Amino acid sequence: MRAPSLNTSHLEALERKRFQLNDEQKHQLGRMREERERLAIPSWKRRPYGDVEDLAQRLEDAVREAGRAATAADTEAQRLAELTAQERGSGQPRGQAYAAETNRLLDRAEALMVTPRAGLGNVGAAAWDVVRSSGFAAALGALQDAPEEIENIAMRLAEMRIRASRLAHDMDKQTREELALVHGQLVREREAAQTYQGIARDIAAEMALRDKIAQRHPSLHDEETDGRRKLRQGKKTRSGMKTAPPEGQAMADEQNPHQALHRGPR
């Protein structure tokens, strides 16, 4: 009599059963996976901000500073755009525009000096009054009465032209320096914002990792927490040793506290 044949699915079921893990083997496999995952976690001593205890406060500080820097960068960017628009809107640098206006003014004044008039005194006074009645009088030094001699008036007008040129140069230099200053501040604030944003991301990543460790590896979480606590205590102890006076000096201070109070910094 021929034995009954087994179908393919039945054979596959028997094969799976032959290689099925028992409870002890499953437990060991789970422990191996957990240990492998634990070993893959970088040490808290090597992780960015792994040694920081109060991560929430650090994150709050980083987010606040990132926001402050971003706001400051926006302010500087707006200021830079306004300054650039002012320069481009006039068609020429502010100093050059100032020089052109003052030169036209002085040209008119000097033109009066060579115009035939009844008297040289009237010619000189009229030329001087052109400058003194303008909005450039204070800057060019023409607020006082005109000099008595026509030659002195001509000399003063020539000096005004030189002075106007120097003022125009200073204006353009000031504008360039202001633009450079604003641009530099803009770059610094943007870099600061990016830096603090990066810090905030690193802190958030550390917080997420600690939550994961606490859930999946409670013993490792306890070890790390204890390690950070001991590190803080060690730093506190070393800081106290640096600031504490030598033992002999401490005894002398106890015997003479008034002298210790007035010894001053060493």
Residues 219-231: tens digit of each pLDDT: 999 999 999 999 9
Query: DSSP assignment of 89-155, as one string?
Result: HTSS-HHHHHHHHHHHHHHHHHHHHTS--S-HHHHHHHHHHHHHTSTTHHHHT--SPPPSSHHHHHH
pLDDT digits (tens, 9 = 90+) for 232-250: 998 888 877 776 555 545 4
Q: Judge whether 130 and 108 are in contact, CB under 8 Å.
A: yes
CB atoms within 10 A of CB 73: 20
Q: In this structure, are residues 204 and 101 in contact, taking their beta carbons and an 8 Å threshold?
A: no
What pLDDT sits at residue 36?
Answer: 78
Tokens of 17: 């059963």
Compute how many other C-beta atoms are within 10 angstroms of the C-beta atom of residue 188.
14
> Residue 55's closest CA among 209, 201, 197, 206?
206
pLDDT 10s digits, 196-206: 999 999 999 99
**Confidence band, pLDDT 50/70/90 cuts, at residue 194:** very high
| DSSP 8-class letter at 183 | H
Percent of the chain whose predicted confidence (pLDDT) is above 70: 77
Q: Residue 111 above 60 pLDDT?
A: yes
Give me the amino acid identity at 42.
P
Tell me: the pLDDT tens digits for 59-78?
999 999 999 999 999 999 99
Q: What pLDDT band is residue 263 in, cutting at 50, 70 and 90?
A: very low
Quick check: pTM over 0.85? no
Structure tokens that stand for 245 in this block: 């006076």
C-beta separation of 150 from 121 below 8 A: yes
pLDDT digits (tens, 9 = 90+) for 168-187: 999 999 999 999 999 999 99
Give how far the C-alpha of residue 172 lies from the chain's centroid of Cα atoms, to the nearest Å: 27
Q: What is the pLDDT of residue 124?
A: 87
Q: Are 14 and 168 in contact (CB under 8 A)?
A: no
Q: Does an H or E element contain 56, and which? A: helix 55-89
Residues 6+ apart with CB under 8 A from 254: none
17-21, 109-113, 144-148 — which is least confidently predicted?
17-21
